[in-house]
Structure 1
Amino acid sequence: MHKLNLLVVFWSLCQFANSMSTDDQEIGAVKWATKFEIQIGNKFYHFETNKANWFQAANHCRELGGYLLNFESSEEMDAILPILPQGQIQFWTSAHCLSGNRKFISVTSGEPMPYMRWFPNEPNNLNNNEFCVELRINGGALNNIHCTNKWTG
């Protein structure tokens, strides 16, 4: 059995907060960002190993003030892969095609996913019910999968 892990992303609001130039806003942005212990570029990342389906994971990320992972480039994906917790196999991403049209959009932005590195022969929509996307560390690529899967250890 596999464990599907949460990878929560928080976009840095520091530039926006700094442009507002009030001490409270800057302190708030710093406190907010400390929940997300890893920074790459202007994004902060937080990893969890809770069992959750895609909907639960997306909701939990929002409760933390972040979003499920939304890759914007090959470089971002390559930067994330080596820092993921060892032994963890899969992480949910923000990508989904819940409208049924097989066009993957981001729950984070509502826009088409900016970058998708699929495994060979993916997305395959196995059994016509794979509407969400996971990042698989082994192989460093994306796979479409059933949104209500909960992985167990």
Structure 2
Amino acid sequence: MMHFIQISLIFLNTFAISVSGSDSAENENAEMYNPFIQIGSKYYFINESLKMNWFAASDYCRSHGGDLATIESREELLALQEYISPKGGMVQRFWIDGNDLANEGVFVSHTTGLPLTYTNWYENNPSDTNDEDCVEAFIQLGGTKLLMNDNKCETNFHAICQYRAPTMQKSREICVPLDKNEHCMLRDLAEALTQAADMFKSCSQPVRCSTSPRRSVTYNNFQLNN
């Protein structure tokens, strides 16, 4: 019986640590992504009160821990489109990181230096009219589709900034859900319960349990005589 109580206390202690760790991780995540918000599978930041040229936009995003957005798939474009479209009523234009500044007609990502992996060009574009070397994403007046167009880099638009993931791992492990339906705390509790059950099962075998003289054991300020 004493062994069962001890195991229960260990389990409760693990539960408290799990809850505390989960809250701490959530707070760290909120602080880490600020001011970026999740849109689809990535985190973005759009300052709707500030317009700037493409070069200033790139510096601005970097000053906030990100880069101009790299749209790499239709899914990412549709997620941004859904977020931006409800704010309609006027033409909405945003700088993203594509450009052909180095090699005319070859559009690359300013973030990765690699050719763009996904494009959704507006009709008859890119056109390179008047040295249009930087890529914008825009929604036409009364439209709903997010399209891409090459424009003059000196033009002032809003910027879509994309969060830059850290390149170094954190010093302590943070639980990452295996899928959207899983909660880290539940996984931790399940693992703790399994460990406690194994310990109890082990101690139910006389040859495995301690045969040393009775002693006082303390768990989180609770004292037990064993």
Bucket of the pairwise TM-score, normalised by the shorter protein: 0.7 to 0.9
In the comparison of the two structures, how many residue pairs are matched?
129
Aligned equivalents of 2:69, 2:157: Cα separation in 1 = 18
- What's the counterpart of residue 124 of structure 2? 121
* Overall identity of the aligned pairs, in %: 31
On the 8 A contact 1:119/1:143 being kept in 2, the answer is yes
Write 1 or 2 for the structure with the bigger share of strand: 1
Q: Residues 132, 142 of structure 1: CA spacing in aligned structure 2 closer, same or farther, 3 A cutoff?
A: same
Asked whether 1:112 is paired with 2:118, we answer no
- How far apart are the structure 1 equivalents of 2:63 and 2:95? 16
Match for residue 150 of structure 1?
A: 156
Q: How far did residue 35 of structure 1 move?
A: 1.4
Compared CA separation, residues 151 and 92, structure 1 to 2 (3 A): closer
**3-state SS in 1 of match to 2:31:** helix
CA contact 1:100–1:131 (8 Å) conserved in 2: no
The alpha-carbon deviation at position 38 of structure 1 amounts to 2.9
Q: Distance in 2 between matches of 1:89 and 1:130?
A: 18
In 2, distance between residues paired with 1:46 and 1:116?
21
Q: Counterpart of 1:135?
A: 137
TM-score normalised according to structure 2 size: 0.52
Of Structure 1 and Structure 2, the greater helix share is in 2
1:55 maps to a residue whose letter is F
Out of 49-58 and 79-88, give the one that drifted further.
79-88
Q: Does 1:92 align with 2:91?
A: no
- Residues 151 and 83 (structure 1), Cα distance of their counterparts in 2 relative to 1, 3 Å cut: closer
Give 1:88 deviation, angstroms.
Answer: 5.6
Q: 1:126 to 1:88 in 2, by over 3 A?
A: closer
Q: For the Cα contact (< 8 Å) 2:93–2:157, is it kept in 1?
A: no
Report deviation, 1:132.
Answer: 0.1
Larger Rg: 2
